[in-house]
């Protein structure tokens, strides 16, 4: 089983690439942002709880995220691999992910990060806000999301570097170019594993 974490700041293009990777390799794409947005849209108790936090560009609590991921793993015990997009986002989540995977004898296989500079990220996020009407993409909220990334998510780079699981790919270029680089890095990693 291949457990891939697609890593990077908001606006790096994780969602787009995660869908393509999942399709190519036949893996399950898990976007915690999509799961949470769907709960909000349906007005479930969970959705009501997280709506304001998400709209402000802050992080939802580790406890809720861990609960969500536990249920994802239980429901998808038969898949060949996962593409995790947007999880883990804190050190606590990363450690809990290791615990969850170890319950079925699994580990994180590879962390692939999309590297995009901050100026480019803000531009992309503002364009996306206009195109998709995403409530969490106003300028103020974008700033919050980047601060959350710097304070809570970026430290994961060292966590995964220490385990020699971290690989970085330049995230600027055409979708296909970036996808090809990501795919070949995964294939390379698969052949080393065999």
Residues of the shown chain interacting with ligand AMP in the complex, contacts defined by CB under 6 A: 10, 32-33, 36, 53-54, 57-60, 65, 86-87, 89, 93, 136, 145
107 labelled catalytic: no
Active-site position among 51, 92, 95, 128: 128
Q: 74 or 147: whose CB is closer to ligand AMP?
A: 147
Report residue 76 as tokens: 């998808």
Q: 79 or 91: whose CB is closer to ligand AMP?
A: 91
Closest CB to ligand AMP: residue number = 33
Active-site position among 14, 20, 37, 124: 14
95 labelled catalytic: no
Q: For the chain, give the number of residues.
A: 194
167 labelled catalytic: no
128 labelled catalytic: yes
* 7 strand-pairing partners: 113
Give the alpha-carbon dihedral of 150, 114, 24, 125, to 10 degrees: 70
d(CA 109, CA 118): 28
134 labelled catalytic: yes
Compute the least distance from the CB of residue 194 to ligand AMP, in Å: 31
Q: 57 or 166: whose CB is closer to ligand AMP?
A: 57
Q: 2 or 7: whose CB is closer to ligand AMP?
A: 7
Q: 46 or 182: whose CB is closer to ligand AMP?
A: 46
Annotate 82-105 with b (16+ C-beta within 10 A) or e (fewer): bbbbbbbbbeebbebbeebbeeee
Compute the least distance from the CB of residue 89 to ligand AMP, in Å: 4
Compute the least distance from the CB of residue 78 to ligand AMP, in Å: 24
Compute the least distance from the CB of residue 53 to ligand AMP, in Å: 6
Q: Which residues are catalytic?
A: 14, 89, 128, 134, 145
């Amino acid at each position: 089983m291949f457990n891939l974490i697609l890593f990077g700041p908001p606006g790096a293009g994780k969602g787009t690439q995660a869908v393509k990777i999942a399709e190519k390799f036949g893996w399950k794409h898990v976007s915690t942002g999509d799961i949470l947005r769907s709960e909000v849209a349906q007005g479930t108790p969970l959705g009501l709880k997280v709506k304001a936090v998400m709209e402000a560009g802050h992080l939802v609590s580790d406890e809720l995220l861990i609960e969500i991921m536990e249920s994802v793993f239980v429901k998808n015990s038969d898949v060949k691999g996962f593409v995790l997009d947007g999880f883990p986002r804190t050190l606590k989540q990363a450690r809990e992910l290791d615990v969850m995977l170890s319950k079925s004898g699994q580990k994180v296989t590879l962390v692939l990060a999309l590297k995009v500079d901050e100026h480019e990220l803000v531009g992309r996020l503002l364009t996306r806000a206009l195109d998709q009407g995403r409530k969490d993409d106003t300028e103020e909220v974008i700033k919050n999301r980047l601060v959350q990334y710097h304070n809570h998510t970026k430290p994961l780079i060292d966590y995964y570097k220490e385990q020699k699981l971290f690989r970085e790919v330049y995230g600027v270029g055409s979708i296909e170019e970036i996808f090809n680089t990501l795919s070949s890095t995964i294939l390379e990693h698969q052949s080393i594993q065999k």
